[in-house]
Amino acid sequence: MKVIRFHATEDAGSRFEEIEVPVNEPRPSPAGGILKQSAAWPSPAVRFVELPIGLDQSWHHAPARQIVLVLSGCVEVETTDNEKRRCSAGQAFIADDLTGKGHSTRVIDGPATVMFVELPHGFDVAKWSA
């Protein structure tokens, strides 16, 4: 499963990267067959947020390292290299830019509903996606 991550860079900017989240841990299903899942981790906080029609947030940091799952609508994120990515319902991205200029966010098709899943302190995205 591919997830878009945006992160802070050494030049105080931000950039996108695509990471592959392995969904390869087998788990028997009570209905029969084997399900495949990713590695699990504890989350300090999960919240649902409705982003209003026309939301246009200028440059800001993510308040915490978090996975953002778009449940409805469409959200566009821009990094400091002027690259823009859109996430629609069912897509996720990892907000991982706690320093530097940050990113900007716009609601393209709104309102948009998102779920924020905070990552625990010390969470290693590279190990999780390896």
pLDDT of residue 84: 97
Domains of the chain plus CATH, in order, are: 2-128 (2.60.120.10)
Q: Which two three-digit tokens encode residue 19?
A: 């990471």
* Residue percentage of the chain with pLDDT more than 70: 99
Cα atoms in the 13 Å half-sphere on the side-chain side of 12: 4
Give the tens place of pLDDT for each residue, 70-86.
999 999 999 999 999 99
Residues of the chain with pLDDT under 70: none
Spatial separation of the C-alpha atoms in residues 66 and 52, rounded to whole Å? 20
